[in-house]
Amino acid sequence: MKYRYLLPMQTSLRKMGNSVGMIVPAALLKELGATAGTTMDVRLENGAVVATPRRKVREGWAEDAARVAATEEDPDEAAWCAVWQ
């Protein structure tokens, strides 16, 4: 996925109860397809905080199944069937 906002945007950390939160600019949220309340996966990567919207458990399964069904032969299925012949 290619994002339009490659230059850093500045924000600050803010006290929120016993935690600290970061305000994410609306432009970045829009690019991510995230809104207030979106569940995010957060990790440290090379000294940077990386946050990505969490995928729903079955998100993308239907598209993947359609893609596999559209192929003439699935190599994994062929290998599996060969075992039982």
**Per-residue pLDDT tens over the stretch 8-35:** 788 899 999 999 999 988 888 888 889 9
In a domain, 1, yes or no: no
Query: CA–CA distance from 81 to each of 10, 65, 69, 73 (Å)?
Result: 55, 18, 16, 12
Lowest mean pLDDT among 5-19, 41-55, 61-75: 61-75
| Residues 25, 11 contacting (CB under 8 angstroms) | yes
CATH of the domain at 58: 2.10.260.10
**pLDDT score of 44:** 95
| Residues 21, 14 contacting (CB under 8 angstroms) | yes
Q: What is the count of structural domains for the chain? A: 1
In a domain, 7, yes or no: no
Cα angle at 54 between 42 and 49, to 5 degrees?
Answer: 20
**pTM greater than 0.75 (yes/no):** no
* Averaged pLDDT score across all residues of the chain: 81
User: Which of 22, 28, 26 is CA-nearest to residue 7?
Assistant: 28
- 27's CB contacts (< 8 A; 6+ apart) are 5, 9
